[in-house]
Chain A
Amino acid sequence: MTEMLRNARQGWLGMTDCGKVMALFLAALLFLWLYHRKERQKGLLLYTTVMTVCCILPFTAFILMLYQTKFYDYEWIWSMVPVTAVTAYGGTVLLADSWQDFRRSAWRKGLPVTLGLFLIALLCSGSWDSVLWRENRAERSRTAEVLEYLTDGEKGQELCLWAPRKIMEYARSTDSSIRLPYGRNMWDITLNGYSYDQYSEAVTDMYRWMCLAEGTGETKEEEQQGESPSAVACLDTALALGVNCILLPDNTEQVLLNEVEGLLQMQPEQTSGYYVFWTE
């Protein structure tokens, strides 16, 4: 509840931090109220204005967040405000006026206004970090390659895979017949709202151990503090959960690799940057 109150208070600031579409929307709303007095759609404008105020003020925003259930974040209360429709409405009215109902002869006024509005729209836009997405796409295709190798080698058994996060991230969406000891919701905690199930401490340790094998910074610190999970316990949990294939990255520290080889008493296969241990 406290977090929701904080979201309601800071949500509006968050909405306006990178792009400025909301500023454009407020300007369009103001324009329609002040300039376009003969407006036929007063009902729509009245509703939009009231809801806008409700979404901006923390107390009413909090009530709206309660109304839309606690499942959704602050930004979704703005669904109730026709932001795009009203902004486009304001823009269209302004353009139609400046072009005198789209007459070619009115270009002296119409063209600068059109270009100006286009420029404003451009300046109000922000950028979403698509670099991350391109990296993800590369990882996804690499995962597909690795999974193809694994499903070819599973010898008719159902594959239950324990692998580094990069593989686990896309495993189930690439091939839904693969089973995992833990899924994407281990690191994307927003997904935990979809189920009552929770991971046991032993399974969480498996994830932490695999992060250690991958060399994640966070787990390195834990290791230095002597809090790293033990390989024996993690392998025991994995085998108890029915894991029949373990993947380790090829940059795994030799000590760790030797420990796993010793515990499983087998030599791994190697493919596309991973060591593969078939436990059955």
Chain B
Amino acid sequence: MNFIVEVWVTLIVPCLCICMGMGLWKLLYRKERSVPSLADALLTGELLLIGLAEAAHLGAVFLGRSFSDCTLFFRILLGAALLLSGLVMLGSAGRERRKGRNEGGSRGIGNMESAEKVLAAVFLGLVLVQLIWVVVNAGAYRRGDMTVETVGSFLSADGIYTVNPMTGQPYSLGIPSRLKILCLPTLYGILCRLSGLEPETVVYTVVPVLVAVSSYAAFGSVGSCLFPNSRKKRYCFLIAVAILFWTGSYRYGMDGFGLLYCGYRGVSVRGLVLLPYLISLCIRRRWKPAILCILAEACITWTLYGAGAGLLLTAGLFLAERRQPHDGNA
């Protein structure tokens, strides 16, 4: 039964993110008639999800409300975001219809060349093996991390950072405020509350699988920027990424290690999802979602007053890309 719920949560979260991301992307680029790619929709939706979790988390922390109230805030915000996205998409579809625009869309699987099919099959095989690995090795590396205990303490005490996750006893001196504002444990706790799954299951299994899928979406987005005219090269790029994840799984701090052993950590989400997506956005000069990425990083990792790796990467790529001609690929 638990397994079915796990699968259901793993499927429903990306679907919700895609719906929200589609609406947000349309809202950010109202004047453009292009439809966002699935990767853009998923990743923008995840940025929005982090934003909603942060809003609910901060609301509960600063108003001194319980974790149940925080979950309720999040539900309301999520509902509002979905409704708004639906309205934006309906409005956009209506405008497109009136103007009689019909985008060609991407080529389907039936139109793939045999080499593309082989590369796609190899890539999907590698991803599948990695997802199985992630599930089998759930919670393999816990050193320096107490996410499960933190989520568990939120749920059992029905409060955010009211008790020390390590002991379950009330804090005597408290925690650094820069950690207190980070929302990932709250987001995971909300997932536990809404799905009824145990913190260990959500943190060690469901979230790493979602992060792995999102990571490939982000790297796929980078591949689309590097090789806009060749789907074969894009698949080859993703295969290379998958192999590099295996190769680099030997050391804490490497992308591969984060993906295969601790995908739930803020630094892993940043390294595997936010930063690759940020690279693709910077190459495409899509600065609005890039700002969302920078903000999302500040919500999930300890940064220098909001200035994290994302900001430095954006600034660096902005300066470096300024010297290059822009071909308008988006």
Cβ B276 vs Cβ A85 within 8 A: yes
In this complex, the interface size class of chain B, counting residues with CB under 8 Å from chain A, is: 35 or more
Q: Provided the pairs A43-B317, A180-B168 are in contact, do residues A69 and B303 lie with their beta carbons within 8 angstroms?
A: yes
Q: Inside 8 A of B146's CB, which chain A residues have their CB?
A: 184-185, 191, 194
- Interface hit among B2-10, B71-79, B251-259: B251-259
| Cα–Cα distance between A104 and B114 once the two chains are bound (Å) | 10
Q: Does B195 contact A (CB under 8 A)?
A: no
* In the complex, chain A residues whose CB is within 8 Å of the CB of B148: 173
A149 contacts B by Cβ under 8 Å: no
Once the chains bind, are A80 and B246 in contact (CB under 8 Å)? no
Known: A44-B317, A173-B149. A122 touches B247 (CB 8 A): yes
Contact of A42 among B119, B173, B324 (CB under 8 A): B324
Contact mask B307-330 → A, CB, 8 Å, 1/0? 111001100110111111001000
Contact with B along A59-83 (1 / 0, CB 8 A): 0000000011101110110111011
Inter-chain contacts of B308 with A (CB < 8 A): 68
B281 within 8 A of partner (CB): no
A35 within 8 A of B: no
A78 to B270, CA, bound (A): 12
A53: chain B residues at CB < 8 Å are none
Query: Is the pair B275, A44 in contact by a Cβ cutoff of 8 Å?
Result: no
CB pair A21 B248 closer than 8 Å: yes
Q: Which residue in A19, A82, A177, A198 is a CB contact (below 8 Å) of B279?
A: A82
Cα of A278 to Cα of B142 in the assembled complex, Å: 30
Nearest A residue to B315, CB-CB = A47
Q: In this assembly, does B241 line the interface, its C-beta being within 8 Å of a C-beta of chain A?
A: yes
Check: A265 CB closer than 8 A to any chain B CB.
Answer: no
Q: CB within 8 A of A83: which of B168, B171, B255, B323?
A: B255
- Report chain A residues within 8 Å CB of B324: 40-43
Question: Are A21 and B166 also in contact (CB < 8 A) when A85-B222, A104-B115 are?
Answer: no
Most buried by A among B156, B253, B256: B253
- Nearest neighbor of A180 in chain B, beta-carbon distance: B167
Query: Would you call A92 and B309 a contact (CB within 8 A)?
Result: no
Q: Are B317 and A126 in contact, with the CB atoms below 8 A?
A: no
Within 8 A of A (CB), among B205-258: 219, 222, 225-227, 230, 232-233, 236-238, 240-241, 243-257
> Roughly how many angstroms separate A72 CA and B265 CA in the complex, as a whole number?
13
Q: Is there an interface contact between A41 and B283, defined as CB atoms closer than 8 Å?
A: yes
Interface residues of chain A: helix, strand, loop or mixed (majority): helix
**Chain A residues within 8 Å of B99, by CB:** none
- Bits for B116-156, please: 1 = Cβ < 8 Å to A, else 0: 00010000000000000000010111111110110011011
User: In the complex, which of the residues B172, B219, B267 contacts A76, with contact meaning CB atoms closer than 8 Å?
Assistant: B267
Contacts of A197 in B (CB 8 A): 164, 171-174
B289 contacts partner chain A, Cβ-Cβ < 8 Å: no
- Residues in B172-187 with C-beta less than 8 Å from chain A: 172-176, 179
Query: Once the chains bind, are A172 and B168 in contact (CB under 8 Å)?
Result: yes
Q: How far is the CA of A67 from the CA of B302 in the complex (A)?
A: 11
Given contacts A18-B250, A121-B244, A180-B167, whether A68 and B304 have CB atoms under 8 Å apart is yes
In the assembled complex, B263 has its CB within 8 A of some CB on chain A: no
Chain B residue, CB-CB nearest to A50:
B316
Is the beta-carbon distance between A183 and B167 smaller than 8 angstroms? yes
Measured in the bound complex, the distance between the Cα atoms of B317 and A194 in whole Å is 32
Q: In whole angstroms, how far apart are the Cα atoms of A95 and B235 in the complex? A: 12
0/1 interface trace, chain A 115-157, chain B, CB 8 Å (1 if under): 0001001101111101001001000100000000000000000
The reply on A261 being an interface residue by CB < 8 A is no
- 12 residue pairs bridging A and B, Cβ less than 8 Å apart: A43-B317, A47-B319, A68-B303, A68-B308, A79-B271, A84-B248, A102-B119, A125-B250, A136-B142, A175-B152, A177-B168, A183-B164
Q: Which residues of A contact B (CB under 8 A)?
A: 15, 18-19, 21, 24, 40-44, 46-47, 50-51, 67-69, 71-73, 75-76, 78-80, 82-85, 87-89, 91-92, 95-96, 101-102, 104, 118, 121-122, 124-128, 130, 133, 136, 140, 172-185, 188, 190-191, 194-198, 241
* Nearest 10 CB-CB pairings of A with B: A183-B166, A176-B152, A75-B253, A126-B250, A88-B240, A196-B173, A190-B144, A43-B321, A43-B320, A179-B168
Residues of chain B at the chain A interface (Cβ within 8 Å): 115, 119, 137, 139-146, 148-149, 152-153, 155-156, 164-169, 171-176, 179, 199-200, 219, 222, 225-227, 230, 232-233, 236-238, 240-241, 243-257, 261, 267, 270-271, 275-276, 279, 283, 302-304, 307-309, 312-313, 316-317, 319-324, 327
| Additional 5 contacts, C-beta under 8 A, given A21-B247, A176-B152 | A41-B283, A75-B253, A84-B241, A102-B233, A133-B137
